[in-house]
């Protein structure tokens, strides 16, 4: 078994040295307990990623890593186009730019307690959630292409936010280099009625209470303190992103041999970055990133409408928005010199440290907020990128707890109604169109998010700032 080659670099860092077709080592950031709990496929997939052409430094896995499609979820890898590097649709994933944004409310826990039942009901009624959910927005061909090119900037221009929001979003709300023409008609058709919807699976809209602060300076810079109430929105590019992933994976599998790419796993389907196929995929993927940014922006607008109706004193300012499941062009120091790399993060969060030029001026001195979503009914965390994190895994950190069992296994162990009732007894209100979906996302189906975050902090990937607990959760 491949994990038998695992050696320990330090308390929270492990390595599988290159062997066979591996071009670089596979490196894992985790505690021993998390390493022991990882399924064998994670180690195999991380080593497979290390065989891809043009990979730089290492194939990395975050503390929440678990078996994914091609790359492990929680996998990070960077590629150099000038060295024949590739872009991998499997290294981005199907839910392109799935991510989290967190909003201040200006409310305290005591104020929330008085309104949480009508608030939960109103959010569930106003924000579409669940499999096949559709919104009130209908995009024609012209509007679809404008959205795919403009992202959250387009959404704000349509009245779903303001310029102030854009300053707190990666890429200032718009991913450059998007090519809507590289997105198929079928992908666009799937998204035409889905803007402003949460979707299903682990996506959610959650009203949370700050219960613990670990870093007072960073918390003050982020404008949060104990007993504050925030809202976190977790969703992505819906049907459009999934269709793009499906189509380009098939095309890359067929094209790989012609490009001289040997795939140890078909799910690692890739194309050279500088190839016509690689460029088309990047244009489509960037369009999907914009779709996800616009989607979260519209859901933010819907959320603001609900709060304005239920509790007008709430302000709903954006703290930050981070994406998972992306490939982005970034400059990183390799052997002491800056290098332009295509960084794949699949189920991983960018974690830029203080002073980074891509951060808004209001956050540049402290570093990037890193938003770590918990599973339904468990804690979420806010972390901050550090200078050290820039040297660890291309400024990357974990993105959540990571599944400990499949959705099918979860439904054998839990019943949705029981999960809802148990969480209600703890003061957590769940609203969902699907009790089966609730069972699939039961808190026990996930790893211990606190253990994952502690490992990320100890490994130097990002520093803990605050812990949040759910009060209301609208679940897809």
Summarised one tens digit per residue, pLDDT across range 147-169 is 999 999 999 999 999 999 999 99
136 pLDDT band, cuts 50/70/90, is confident
CB 293 within 8 A of CB 97: yes
CA atoms of 201 and 434, how far apart (whole Å): 10
What pLDDT, on the 0 to 100 scale, is given for residue 441?
A: 87
Beta pairing class for 26-29 and 55-66: parallel
What pLDDT, on the 0 to 100 scale, is given for residue 64?
A: 93
What pLDDT, on the 0 to 100 scale, is given for residue 263?
A: 93
135 pLDDT band, cuts 50/70/90, is confident
Q: What is the mean pLDDT of residues 82-101?
A: 96
Interval 44-80: pLDDT, tens = 999 999 999 999 999 999 999 999 999 999 999 999 9
Sheet of strand 73-79, all strands in order from the earlier edge strand to the far edge: 6-10, 13-16, 26-29, 55-66, 73-79, 337-346, 326-334
Contacts of residue 36, defined as CB under 8 A and 6 or more positions apart, other chains included, come to none
What pLDDT, on the 0 to 100 scale, is given for residue 75?
A: 98
What pLDDT, on the 0 to 100 scale, is given for residue 201?
A: 83
Residue 13 in any domain: the answer is no
Question: What is the CB neighbour count within 10 angstroms for residue 252?
Answer: 26
Q: What is the dihedral of CA 209, 171, 218, 161, to 10 degrees?
A: -40
Residues with catalytic annotation?
A: 399
Residue 41 in any domain: the answer is no
DSSP assignments along 150-161, one per residue: HHHHHHIIIII-
Residue 179: closest CA among 81, 278, 268, 97: 278
CATH of the domain at 198: 3.90.1860.10
Q: Which helix (H) or strand (E) holds 205?
A: strand 204-213
CA atoms of 122 and 283, how far apart (whole Å): 38
What pLDDT, on the 0 to 100 scale, is given for residue 334?
A: 93
- Whether pLDDT at 439 is above 90: no
Residue 81 in any domain: the answer is no
- Whether pLDDT at 173 is above 80: yes
Residue 75 in any domain: the answer is no
For the chain, the straight-line distance linking the first and the last C-alpha, in angstroms and rounded, comes to 37
Residue 167: closest CA among 298, 318, 287, 290: 318
Domain boundaries, position 151: 99-404+446-475
Interval 195-239: pLDDT, tens = 999 988 889 999 999 999 999 999 999 999 999 999 999 999 999
- Whether pLDDT at 314 is above 80: yes
Residue 358 in any domain: the answer is yes
What pLDDT, on the 0 to 100 scale, is given for residue 390?
A: 86
Residue 436 in any domain: the answer is no
Greatest pairwise CA separation for the chain in angstroms: 64
Count structural domains, the chain: 1
Q: What is the mean pLDDT of residues 115-143?
A: 92
347 pLDDT band, cuts 50/70/90, is very high
Strand ranges in 303-360 using DSSP code E only, listed in sequence order: 318-323, 326-334, 337-346, 348-350
1 pLDDT band, cuts 50/70/90, is low
Residue 431 in any domain: the answer is no
403 pLDDT band, cuts 50/70/90, is confident
Q: What is the mean pLDDT of residues 269-276?
A: 97
What pLDDT, on the 0 to 100 scale, is given for residue 74?
A: 96
- Whether pLDDT at 446 is above 90: no
Q: What angle do CA 47, 52, 53 make, to 5 degrees?
A: 145
What whole-number percentage of the chain has pLDDT above 70? 100
Residue 437: closest CA among 456, 417, 464, 457: 417
CB 467 within 8 A of CB 449: no
What whole-number percentage of the chain has pLDDT above 90? 87
Please report which residue ranges of 201-275 form alpha helices under DSSP H: 216-222, 238-255
Residue 152 in any domain: the answer is yes
Q: 3-class DSSP state for residue 110? A: helix
């Amino acid at each position: 078994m491949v994990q038998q080659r695992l050696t320990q670099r330090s308390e929270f860092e492990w390595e599988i040295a290159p062997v066979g077709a591996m071009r670089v080592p596979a490196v894992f950031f985790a505690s021993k307990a998390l390493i022991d709990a990882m399924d064998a496929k994670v180690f195999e997939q991380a080593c497979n990623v290390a065989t891809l052409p043009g990979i730089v430094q290492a194939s990395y896995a975050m503390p929440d890593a678990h078996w994914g499609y091609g790359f492990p979820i929680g996998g990070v890898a960077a590629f150099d186009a000038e060295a024949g590097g590739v872009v991998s649709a499997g290294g981005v994933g199907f839910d392109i730019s799935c991510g989290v944004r967190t909003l201040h409310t200006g409310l305290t826990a005591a104020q929330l307690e008085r309104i949480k039942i009508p608030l939960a009901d109103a959010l569930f009624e106003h924000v579409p959630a669940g499999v096949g959910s559709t919104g009130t927005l209908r995009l024609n061909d012209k509007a679809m292409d404008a959205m795919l090119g403009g992202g959250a900037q387009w959404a704000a221009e349509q009245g779903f936010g303001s310029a102030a929001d854009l300053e707190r979003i990666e890429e200032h709300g718009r991913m450059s280099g998007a090519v809507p023409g590289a997105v198929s008609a079928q992908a666009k058709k799937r998204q035409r009625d889905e803007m402003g919807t949460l979707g299903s699976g682990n996506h959610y809209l959650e009203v949370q209470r700050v219960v613990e602060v670990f870093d007072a300076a960073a918390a003050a810079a982020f404008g949060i303190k104990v007993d504050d109430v925030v809202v976190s929105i977790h969703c992505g590019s819906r049907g459009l992103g999934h269709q793009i992933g499906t189509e380009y994976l098939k095309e890359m599998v067929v094209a790989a041999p012609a490009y001289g790419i040997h795939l140890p796993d078909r799910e690692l389907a890739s194309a050279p970055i500088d190839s016509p196929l690689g460029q088309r995929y990047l244009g489509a993927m960037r369009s999907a990133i914009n779709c996800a940014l616009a989607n979260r922006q519209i859901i933010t607008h819907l959320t603001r409408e609900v709060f304005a109706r239920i509790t007008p004193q709430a302000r709903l300012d954006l703290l930050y928005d981070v994406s998972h499941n992306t490939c982005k062009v970034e400059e990183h120091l390799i052997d002491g010199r800056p290098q332009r790399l295509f960084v794949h993060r699949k189920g991983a969060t960018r974690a830029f440290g203080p002073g980074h030029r891509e951060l808004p001026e209001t956050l540049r001195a402290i570093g990037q907020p890193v938003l770590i979503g918990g599973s339904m009914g468990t804690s979420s965390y806010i972390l901050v990128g550090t200078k050290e994190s820039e040297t660890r895994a291309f400024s990357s950190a974990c993105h959540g707890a990571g599944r400990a069992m499949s959705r099918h296994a979860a439904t054998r162990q839990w019943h949705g109604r029981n999960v809802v009732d148990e969480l209600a007894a703890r003061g957590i209100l769940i609203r969902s169109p699907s009790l089966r979906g609730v069972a699939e996302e039961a808190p026990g189906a996930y790893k211990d998010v606190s253990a994952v975050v502690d490992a990320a902090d100890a490994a130097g990937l990002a520093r803990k700032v605050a812990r949040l607990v759910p009060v209301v959760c609208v679940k897809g």
